[in-house]
Amino acid sequence: MSNPPATSRMVEVSGAEALWLLEGSSLGRLVYVQRDLTAVRPARHVWEYGRLVVRTPAPAAAVPATATYHVDEIRAVAGTGWTLTVSGPAEVITDPDEAAHYRRTLTGWSHGPHDTLLRLAPKSVAGFRLARAEV
């Protein structure tokens, strides 16, 4: 016989805890609208000086003025983990020296016109911790 799956619950985390979780991770997804469709691109990030620097295989022209970035770490077997979303104004990094620095420190998937570096200033942060429900 098999045991029924344990029920899970989501607990909202504070903004400070969400930023702490974001700082401890390095892989996420940039979400934006392109040609009336939602585009989701894998991305690497680093948290520096109160801003999120993101490297993603997306065309720079497609990055909106306000971007959404999603990060999660979910352990499916245990039914635990966390998920968070950061939104705010985004700007493409155009300074060649700064771009070279982030290209060295953030590994990417592609090089060329679809290798974009952007800086996101978080205005809203929402996060949830996934946990097993107490019986």
pLDDT, tens digit, 9 for 90 and up, residues 110-134: 666 678 999 999 999 999 998 877 6
User: For residue 98, how many other CB atoms are within 10 A of its CB?
Assistant: 13
Give the residue-averaged pLDDT of 91-119: 86
What tens digit of pLDDT does each residue of 17-32 get? 988 898 888 899 999 8
pLDDT on residue 87: 94
Reported pTM: 0.84
Residue 103, phi then psi, degrees to nearest 5? -70, -30
CATH fold for domain 8-119: Pnp Oxidase; Chain A (2.30.110)
